[in-house]
Structure 1
Amino acid sequence: MPTIYDVAREAGVSAATVSRVLNGQRSVDPDMVARVLTAVRDLGYRPNAVARNLRRSRTTLWAVIISDIGNPFFTATVRGIEDVAQQAGYSVVLCNSDENPAKEETYVAAALSQQMAGVIIASSGSAKAAKSLLDSPVPVVAIDRELPRGTVDTVVVDNEAGARTATRHLMEAGYERIACITGPEGVSTADLRLRGYTSALSQAPSDGGPVVVRTDFREQGGYDAMASLLSSPERPDAVFVANNLMTVGALRCLADREVEVPREMGLVGFDEIPWADLVRPSLTTVAQPTYELGRMAARLLVDRIATPSGRPATVVLPAELRPRQSSAR
């Protein structure tokens, strides 16, 4: 493998000159720059990225820490991040916290120790991980979920409005006892979607107050939550489910119990699902602009790297109700 000294000999310059050219310094004579770049190309020389990063005290890598790599929501989101990162000269390292705060803390520690250029995080709710990020000089953008106990650049959808619209939709369809399956307490998406649900119920008469089951944002959690609702003395006739994986679990439970949707149980899920139009009955969802979420988060991170002292920005994108058969009584 060619070294910087091989490039220097080929170009007829010093190794220091080669280093200045590769680091983008403008004080080098243009003719020397051309000779160095020609030698680099001819020899196939690649700079030692680790050594360069140590000198710069930073890398050209972003850590993107997501809460569940198995959730289709993150597919387009990460694609949006990566597209902007590549255009800006950065590469993305994807980390899956698996909704596990301890695992998230490990990834945050690794990102900081490796001197990543920036971090984009969909927090699992770890206050320790959040504090580590807030105490560091590394630029941070929170995506999908707000970062606990701190203010950083943030990109989210209007979770409360989306949940309120979904619940009202079920009410307008004629359902009278509407339950909510949501995520863990303290996670912003779970709490805001619950708030939207209760807000909608409070604005119209219904048979009783809110019926809420909290679980873990996973498919099995949705299954178990739906099972508990079906076993309750006052079984609901509709359910708003606060994320896509829990919606899948809830549907699987209804199928196992032979509960007809939407005749016996109306259903609306938060987050679009790729096959929502293909199942029968088709699934009503609240869709998020997932690609745009990722793209906007990456743009905020690029801006934050360029202007570290700027005031944090919060971008709230709209969610869209997509009515289908599962909520048409």
Structure 2
Amino acid sequence: MRSKATISDIAKLADVSKTTVSFYLNGKYSKMSEATRSKIEDAVAKTNYLEEEEQAQKNDARNHLIGVIIGDITSPFANHIVKGLADYCSAKDYHLMLGFSDYQLENERHCINSMNQMGVSGYIVQPTAQFEIMWEGMQIKKPIVYFDSPNHNTKGLWVKTNNYEAAYNAVSFLIKKGYQHFVLVTADPSKIVTRQERCRGFVDHLEIEHMPYDVIVANKETAIDELREQLELYLKAKDVCIYATSNWLLNKVHMALEPYADRIPDEIGLLGMDSYEWSRLVVPSITTIVQPAYEEGTVAAKILIDKIEGTNLEPPNQILKSRIDELESTDHKKTEM
């Protein structure tokens, strides 16, 4: 049996580079000479490349296997996402292949290639900021749905929560509670669009209200003592509120504030993201912005399967609403004037 033609085979037959063949196959030949374009066209026809590629896609679609790439599997958010995906896919007789990127582009590339070789029908991905550029260059003709942090809101298939709006509205909530100074604790915003939206929503509203704020950038290697030292620069003021933009950062901030627990919430407020069960169990309990993670997983699966099966019933872009789980850490008593 003859093996399936590859881009390398076409390039060799047409006597051009693989990059040139890639441009042709992606319709990017406006600057290509007519002679080069004609050679590639003839080589594609002789190798039956397009017919074989189309048949391979049809075969993969029948596999009912979906590749899922998660940025951080240790987060409760990811666990709820996967549960939503699994429940809906199981009901539709689809199976999941999970990969974990740790928000590293090369890990994403490895997962995509491995899953493609296993014949997945499509992908559901929590992407880094550079993922979509890489994806376009990989020339994999399979549907892909982005969740949590799509990089472009105007194209492709995606589902996300209203991170910007949720952070923006949280400022109104905190100001009404009487907080007057704010500290934003975030991981590197440049890596993930979600972080950028949460930071921008919070900061934009504070600047509109002319409220003072500071920003601390931390990562998973930041020691609790180091974070406490940074926070202490702002804890001398009363009516200060700290906003941790992710679950794992909230955990670090909470531990860093242990010596100041008696000042929460009357002098120090604390707002977090997606802490789920543990935020209700600590004393004082912690107010959080909660994303509908299970629903987001379900919707991502619906969008992808709708695309694979060609039913065209599901909106390709969807934004879900978060809510504030108001607990003790922001139960501030306004200072009497």
The equivalences for 1:248-287 within 5 A come to 248-255=251-258, 260-287=263-290
Are the structure 2 counterparts of residues 327 and 298 from structure 1 closer, same or farther at C-alpha, using a change threshold of 3 Å? same
1:212 to 201, 205, 215: 215
| One-letter amino acid of the counterpart of residue 230, structure 1 | E
SS where residue 277 of structure 1 aligns? Answer: helix
Instruction: Identify the range of structure 1 (280-289 vs 162-171) with the bigger mean alpha-carbon deviation.
Output: 162-171
Distance 1:228 1:285 in 2: 22
1:69 is the counterpart of 2:73: yes
| TM-score after normalising by structure 1 | 0.74
Letter in 2 for 1:203: I
Cα distance in 2 for partners of 1:106, 1:190 equals 24
Q: Give the secondary-structure state (helix, strand or coil) at the position aligned to 2:102.
A: coil
2: CA distance between counterparts of 1:92 and 1:119? 10
- Counterpart of 1:204, as a letter, is E
CA distance in structure 1 between the partners assigned to 2:294 and 2:59 by the alignment: 32
Native 8 Å contact 1:101 1:124 kept in 2: yes
Query: 1:190 and 2:195 equivalent?
Result: yes
Given that 1:221 and 1:246 are in contact with CA atoms closer than 8 Å, whether structure 2 keeps it comes out as no
Q: CA deviation at 1:136?
A: 1.5
Confirm whether residue 231 of structure 1 aligns to residue 233 of structure 2.
Answer: yes
The residue number in structure 2 matching 1:178 is: 182
Amino acid at match of 1:181: V
- Tell me the residue number matched to 1:92: 96
Structure 1 residue 104 corresponds to structure 2 residue 104: no
Task: Provide the C-alpha distance between the structure 1 equivalents of 2:108 and 2:170, rounded to a whole number of angstroms.
Answer: 31
Instruction: Work out whether residues 223 and 249 of structure 1, in 8 Å CA contact, stay in contact via their aligned partners in 2.
Output: no
| Structure 2: tracts of 5 or more residues without a match | 1-55, 333-337
Once the 2 structures are TM-superposed, how far is the Cα of residue 270 of structure 1 from its aligned partner? Answer: 1.8
Kindly tell me: are residues 188 and 221 of structure 1, through their superposed partners in 2, closer, same or farther at Cα, counting changes over 3 Å? Answer: farther
Q: Which amino acid aligns with 1:328?
A: D
- Which secondary structure state, in structure 2, belongs to the residue aligned with residue 123 of structure 1? coil
- CA shift, 1:175, in A, is 1.3
For residues 117-138 of structure 1, the C-alpha deviation after alignment (integer angstroms, 9 at most, x for no partner) is 1111111334377425873211
- Residue 295 of structure 2 corresponds to residue 322 of structure 1: no
The range that moved more, 280-289 or 179-188, is: 179-188
Paired residue total:
274
Query: What does the per-residue CA deviation read over 1:93-121, in whole Å, with 9 as the maximum and x for residues that have no partner?
Result: 11111222222221122122322111111
Structure 1 residue 220, shift from structure 2 partner: 4.5
Partner secondary structure for residue 276 of structure 1: helix
The runs of 5 or more residues in structure 1 that have no matched partner are 1-52
Q: Supply the distance in 1 between the matched residues of 2:112 and 2:205 (Cα, whole angstroms).
A: 37
Amino acid in structure 1 at the alignment position of 2:204: S
Q: Which amino acid aligns with 2:251?
A: V
Of 111, 119, 126 in structure 2, the residue corresponding to residue 122 of structure 1 is 126
Q: 1:199 is matched with which residue: 196, 201, 204?
A: 204
Deviation at 1:183, TM superposition (A): 3.1
- Are the counterparts in 2 of residues 284 and 322 from structure 1 also a CA contact under 8 Å? yes
Q: CA RMSD in A?
A: 3.1
Change in Cα spacing, 1:220 to 1:71, as seen in structure 2 (3 Å) is farther
Change (3 A) 1:214 1:259: farther
Alignment-derived partner of residue 173 in structure 2:
169
Give 1:158 deviation, angstroms. 0.5
Q: 2:225, 2:150 → 1: CA distance?
A: 26
Which amino acid is 1:106 matched to?
H
Structure 1 match to 2:135 = 131
Please state if 1:303 is matched with 2:306: yes
Question: Identity across aligned pairs (percent)?
Answer: 24
CA distance in 2, matches of 1:169, 1:213: 21
Deviation at 1:176, TM superposition (A): 1.1
Output the amino acid matched with 2:79: T
In structure 2, the CA distance between the partners of 1:219 and 1:313, relative to structure 1 (3 Å rule), is: farther
